Every structure is written in structure tokens, then in C-alpha cells.
Amino acid sequence: MVLTSVYKVCVPAAQNAGNRATHWGNHRSRPPDAAMFVVNVHSVKGACMSAPQDSSGASTTIDALLQETRRFPPSAEFAAQANVRDESVYQRAHDDPEGFWAEAANRLDWSKRWDTVLEWNAPWAKWFVGGQLNASYNCVDRHIATARRNKAAIIWEGEPGDTRVLTYRDLYREVNNFAAVLLDLGVKKGDRVAFYMPMIPELAIGLLACARIGAPHTVIFGGFSAEALRDRINDSQAKLCVTADGGWRRGNIVPLKDTTDAAVADAPSIEHVLVIQRVGPDIRQVTMHEGRDVWYHEAVTRESRRLVEPEPMDSEHPLYIMYTSGTTGKPKGQLHTTGGYLTGVSLTHEWIFDLKEEDVYWCTADIGWVTGHSYIVYGPLANGASVVMYEGAPDYPDKDRFWALVEKYGVTILYTAPTSIRTFMRWGNEYPARRDLSSLRLLGTVGEPINPEAWMWYSEHIGHNNCPVVDTWWQTETGMIMITPLPGIVATKPGSATRPFPGIEPVVLDDGGNLVPNNTGGNLVITRPWPAMSRTIWGDPDRYIATYWSKYEGKYLTGDGARRDDDGDYWLLGRVDDVLNVSGHRIGTMEVESALVSHPAVAEAAVIGATDPVTGQAIVAFVTPRGGFTPNEGLTAELKEHVVRHIGALARPKRIYYTTELPKTRSAKIMRRLLRDIAEGRVLGDTTTLLDPTIVAQIKEQYESSEG
């Protein structure tokens, strides 16, 4: 059952009456009378959080509003074949973390074995010190010496329907060719290479070619503006920019080369622009600047094609820089290195997704984000997986495109974003119902926290209640998945990311650095180093320390709130900065948003706190309706009462606004900060990193007109 009683934090929580495992039928389905509302997968269900003290010195807390008690243990059939079946792995990793990670590193091929597993001088970590390896070799070369040489490595489909399948032997050839072109253009070990590309195989090929010669890469998502591209190129001081003449998106051409030209005009470090021909001159002509721009297909001549031996790299050699998105401030370039990162992403990919040799794996993210780096390129290819890549939009030419791809390629593992799932819900159940999704055996989610109704919809309509759903919490900074169920041994709970991955040691602390009791909310903090962790912010180590390591000495501050329940499972609140303060009560945004999304008329919701002279802050909600529902005053009143029923009167939204979309970064995170700016009448921050900057203007106009 779902407990909806309200109780104050810092008093003992009600006993969890639903901790016992429940099976409905043979698989994971919801009974007809089950409560429709469960708390957000990444949100706190019962939380108490020590907040910054007010001027009087009194400490504030987050009120615990909701509890979720449903549990879905793995089926006996799935557990019997799972890659990880022994729960003792958690204790072994806890007792001997360095031994655990050393064993994981043995999965890789090293040209020189390390001398020391870990050197830790907080916040500076060095993993597998003295060891040497090459990421490209581990993702490509070692497979062609096995039966995998003829196995599909990349299964690619363009938005117009064109396809390519690259075996590991093909990938080996293409990576060598690309590496030769890089060398011919003067790129050498240590030089940075920027990529501004569509989702085509040459993007993955180019990253592996950079890793082959030791040139750290930085991928800038292909939807960013010229200004955002310029800033990231200048920050990394990239020597080469790789782009394309264009890419396809909803039947239109994305003018990547034109944007690149505008960016590099103010990027003096760029010596050459390497251009991949994706759409061709018959569809779009581009300007090539003599002496600077080079067509890739012309550079890969018969004379230039040659084998480029992968150079052994120190374990701590920089592999890539990944810039986090945002609307204010200088972008933060997270630096990831080679040995520890590859160890972390390869192990987590195999264990969490229960990867088998015959699987067809599809992570729907863009390689322009850390998810694409870790779980499209480096983790899966190091494991010899068959990886699906898709160039275009999920609704082109129709809203069943994703499901058509699952059916066509027999995808067995699907890893996608909650924002996409909520969009699919809004479009309607008929689209996945058109397609045969029976090949799927495991589902994953990543990114913006998933609302429980989206979790259940995903399980029922995509997995047909036959697939474990592994929600994953991690960050650009962590490099690898940190909190998630191992699907063969951990019972999932809609609303919880469940357990830390073996070897990961989180705690929940108050602002004073004290452990908070179970079922009490606080700051999520990681107490031990892990191999894939970001080593620094590129060019700004002081900012790295101030942002992540200054609050709790020797411990990593994630910036997220969380609580730990009596089973040891973690419930993520979301960003601490987004907490609402209403009449002295501190409320997590995700709890209110989850209540709204549990209503059948709501596909997505974002709530913010707007200044209120009486309550301090008033809850303002921005709602995207599902198809078939028309916003009106009656629906607004119904939604407000729905929140009251499921949470309590203190969480009643004062105002609700309807919008066709919410403002999101191009990595699919809702930008509540911009919604606060709108509500407070402030000047908006940089909107060029948003998926659709026009949405903000539309919401702002509606808000201002309604406020008179």
C-alpha cells in the first residue's frame, strides 16, 4: 500500500508496513486496486534535511510527506541467469574496496600492470598508479583477436532510414583510418580535439581514434549554439574541431558546419576543422575555408590509410573533458582519465544491465553527454557489446519511431531518459502497442528523476511487466553509475534508486556533517574515492575543491538530497537548491511534482517557490497535460485538490500554468532555475544551452499576461 499521511521530520517515521516482497501474477505488474501514486524514483519519500540556518540561528528541515512500500523482487528465472547472483559482493567490496576495484581492473588489457591501486590525497585521486593501457585498444583491438571480430559493434540508423552496421573488424579499420587523419593534421598526444557532430558512427570512431593517440577529446552536443561551442573550445584550447556538413532532425537539416564557422571565428586555438560529409552537397552546400577546413572523405585517401598502433597511456592520462550544462556561469569541464574510468564504466555496464554476448543494447542518449560517453562508447565497446545508435528524433516520421527500432533490431536492453518516457506517455499507449517489443528483457532509466507513474508505465507498456527496471543515479562528475539495483539480486521500488553499486560508499549528512537517521533526509555525500570520478575541473582546480570538496573534508558533495530507508535503499530528492520553503515547511520539489504527475491528466510537471508575503514562498506549478485533456479552471482546481489528498494542504500549489513543454537542458534536465527567474521577474540566464529556448519565452509571456 501507499502511505499518504504527513509526518514531521526528525521524529520516528511510521513503520513501513509494506517491506515484505509482493508478487502479482508471474511478473512485475500493478494490481487493479493499487494506489496510483508513488514517489519519484529520484525523490525523497520521507525526508528531514538540515538546511542553512536563518538569521535567528534556527535550523530548518524538509518535511516528510510520502511513503512508498511496493517492492518488486527479481523473478526466479531472471535471478538464475543474472551476471551477479551473490549478495556477498556488497560486503566484499565494502571490506576491501581496493581489492574489489583491482579485480575489476583485471577485466581490461593492460600493457603495464599498476604498482599501486589507489593514491588518495583528498580530493586528488590516482587510480592504478604506474599502470599503462589504451582505451581504444580495449574497445576495439582486443575483440578482433576473438570470435567477436565479425560481431556487430555499432548498429546505426539515420533519421531518413539509411543504415550501417559496423562489425568489430570494421570498427578497427575505421578507427585506424581516423587516427591516421588526426596525425596527418598535426594532432599529437595531449592535444585537445573538439567534436560537434550528429549521432553518426564517425562520432564514436573519432573518440576512439583520439584515445588511440592520447589526444583528449571534448564533445559538444550538436544542438548547442555557436556561443556555447566557442566557449567550450576556448576553455579546452582545442587544436582541431571535428564537425559535419549537417545532421537530420525531424526532417530538417541541422546546420552544424555553419554554427562551427561562427564559433571558431573567435577560437584562436583551432588550426583545422575536419568536416564529415553526412548530408551531401545535393541537399546542403557548405563553405570550406581554404587552409583551415578539410573534408574527411578526402583526407582518408588510399595513401593516408594505415594502421596506427595504440600508444600505451598512463592510467591517469586525460581521456576526455565533459562540460556540464547550465544557464549561468562559466561551463565546468570535468576531466576524466583513462584507467579508472574504463574500469568503472565497463564493470557497471556489464553488471547493471546484465549484459550477455547475444544482447542488442540501446542507450538512447546522445554521445554529446556523459551518458553517451560511458554507456554508448566506452563501457559497451570495452565489453564487446552490440550497440544501437540512432541519429534523429523519437517522433519522426511518427511517434512510434523508437519502438520501430526496438522491433527492427531486436533490442534486448533499453536505457532511456525519464523525460522521454513522460513524453511517450503524453503521446499515448497506442504507439508502443503498434510494435512487437517482446525482444526486450531489461529496461533502464537515466537523467532527470523519473516519476513513479512514468516508472510504472515504462514497466507495463514497454516491458510488458517482464523486464526488470534499473533506475540509475549518477552524474557527469561521477563518470559511472553510483546507485542502482543489480537486477538479479535487488528488489526494485518505484521511487528508489535502491542500493549503492558495490564499492560505492554514500552517506546522508546534515549541514554539520552528522549522519542523519534512516528515513531522514540530508545531503548525499560519497565518502570514498571511486575509479571513474572526475579528477578536476579543467583549468580550475580551486573551483573543483570549492564546489565539491569544501563542505565536508575528504568527502564528495553531490549537491543532491537523499534519504536512506530501513532496507538500506536510497531515495533521491533531487537538487538541494530546488527545495521549497512554505510557511516554515521545507518541501522537496520532486514530491509535489510526483503528486501532480500521478493525476491521469498530467504528463510532466515542474514546481518552484515564488516569493510570497504571507508564506515566504508559494508553490507555483508548470504542467504539461497528456493528450486528450484540455486545461481549464476545473482541471486546475482538481489538480490542486489532488496534491492536497496525496501530500497535504501545505503542498497545495497557489498557481498552476499549462505549457506544451518544460524548459530543459539538452541533456533533458528541467531548468527550474529559469522558471524561478520568470516567477520572480528576474533577467533570464543564458538560454542557449536549452533544448528549445523559445519555450522559455512562451512561458514567460503566459506568466506575465496572467499576472496582469
Listed residue (699, 690, 698, 696) closest to 665, CA to CA? 690
CB 465 within 8 A of CB 42: no
With a CB cutoff of 8 Å and minimum separation 6, the contacts of 389 are: 154, 155, 156, 157, 199, 200, 201, 204, 376
What pLDDT shows up at residue 33?
30
Residue bearing cell 550544462: 325
522-526 and 506-509: which strand pairing? antiparallel
Task: Kindly report the backbone phi and psi dihedral angles of residue 448, in degrees, each rounded to the nearest multiple of 5, phi listed first.
Answer: -55, 135
Burial category of 670 from C-beta neighbours within 10 Å (exposed 0-12, middle 13-18, buried 19 and up): buried
Under DSSP, the state recorded for 74 is: P
Q: Which amino acid, one-letter code, is at 662?
A: L
Q: Which CATH code for domain 581-708? A: 3.30.300.30
pLDDT reported for residue 80: 97
- Which regions of the chain are under pLDDT 70? 1-67, 325-329, 448-449, 583-586, 666-668, 683-693, 702-708
| 3-class DSSP string for 105-120 | HCCCCCCECCCEEEEE
- Quickly list DSSP for 515-528: BPPTT--EEEEE-S
Environment class of 404 (CB within 10 Å of its CB; exposed 0-12, middle 13-18, buried 19+): middle
What is the three-class DSSP state of 459? helix
Contact 416, 462 (CB under 8 A): no
Q: By C-alpha distance, which of 228, 234, 242 is closest to 277?
A: 242
Cβ-based neighbour number of residue 133 at 10 Å: 26
Tell me how far apart the alpha carbons of residues 336 and 538 are, in angstroms, rounded to a whole number: 10
Return the pLDDT at 329.
61
Residue 290 Cα distances to 180, 271, 272, 273, 274, angstroms: 21, 12, 10, 10, 12
pLDDT of residue 666: 63
Q: Where are the domains of the chain?
A: 581-708
